[in-house]
Structure 1
Amino acid sequence: MKDLVAEAKGRVATVSPEHAATSEGSATLVLDVREPGELETHGRVPDALHVPRGLVESRADATAQTAETRLTDLRDTGCVHVLCGSGARAALAADTLRAMGYQARVIEGGFEAWKAKGLPVET
């Protein structure tokens, strides 16, 4: 897995938690790829779209019945800031989104860095 994550990180850009938090508008989205239990235990980013890592491809494919409009509307027109606990799953998800035609960036340090910076968290 370490090799896969390292390769993915080499293909995707990063964004600071502060920049991701202040990027507002219809052309940006924070995509949280953590598991539901993590959100319940640790909290969530307000207004983020939650799609567990294992479902990203089906939610990002506009032709799938399971497509998530908040995500698919950004393909070719916006930026998806991807978040997980520390950054590994986010790198894999962002790399997949990149291959699917999205502009995707990994939020540096994941949810832990988000919280450490004092950015908004809902419980």
Structure 2
Amino acid sequence: MAKGYKDMMAEADAIVQSVTAPEMAAQLGAGDVVMVDIRDPRELEREGMIPGAFHAPRGMLEFWIDSESPYHKPTFAEAKTFVFYCASGWRSLLAARLAQEMGLEARSLRGGFSEWKQEGHPVAQKAKREG
């Protein structure tokens, strides 16, 4: 029988350490943590993002993490803890699991950007693309 998303989420939740918005707000700007926003660019333009976060669209994540990929991003080669987030925390939980499987020290932001924003933590605006 095929696994559903609920099964995948439960498995990821058992493996991935999740952090809360207040915990991450206290570490904002820490040199050993990289916040990774995996949302679609339109979500960033509409909602903003966590200040200083690195944007890595979920669809490119495997390619950007893998150092052998022609699309590799040097940010992912740094010896840091990567905290992934999306709107609600579901996509980022699965992304953090994937990143762990690929060798990164990865966490997921529980509640995602929605909870971050709702709690009044800082938000940076993403410049809208021309065209």
Q: TM-score, normalised by structure 1?
A: 0.90
1:43 paired residue number: 48
| Structure with bigger gyration radius | 2
The one-letter code matched in structure 2 to 1:99 is E
Unaligned runs of 5+ in 1: none
Distance of aligned partners of 1:22 and 1:69 in 2 relative to their CA distance in 1, 3 Å threshold: farther
**Aligned with 1:113: secondary structure?**
helix
Task: Specify the alignment match of 1:17 in structure 2.
Answer: 21
Per-residue CA deviation, residues 64-94 of structure 1 (Å, 9 max, x unaligned), is 1211112221xxx321111001011001100
Which residue identity does 2:41 align to in structure 1? Answer: P
Counterpart residue number, 2:77 = 72
User: Residue in 2 aligned with 1:121?
Assistant: 123
Q: Distance in 1 between matches of 2:54 and 2:95?
A: 13
Q: What amino acid is the match of 1:84?
A: C
Measure, in 2, the Cα distance between the counterparts of 1:121 and 1:81.
16
**In 2, are the aligned partners of 1:29 and 1:71 still within 8 Å (CA)?**
no
2:88 to 86, 89, 92: 86
Distance in 2 (CA, whole Å) between partners of 1:117 and 1:68 is 31
Q: CA RMSD in A?
A: 1.2
Q: How many Å separate the matches in 1 of 2:104 and 2:112?
A: 19
Take 2:25 and 2:34, find their aligned partners in 1: how far apart are those partners?
10
Residue identity opposite 1:18 in structure 2: P
Equivalent residue letter for 2:59 = G
Residues 12-36 of structure 1, C-alpha deviation per residue, up to 9 Å, x if partnerless? 0011112223323332100011111
Amino acid at match of 1:33: I
Which residue among 50, 59, 62 is the counterpart of 1:54? 59
Percent identical residues: 35
Q: Choose which of 3, 7, 14 in structure 2 pairs with 1:3.
A: 7
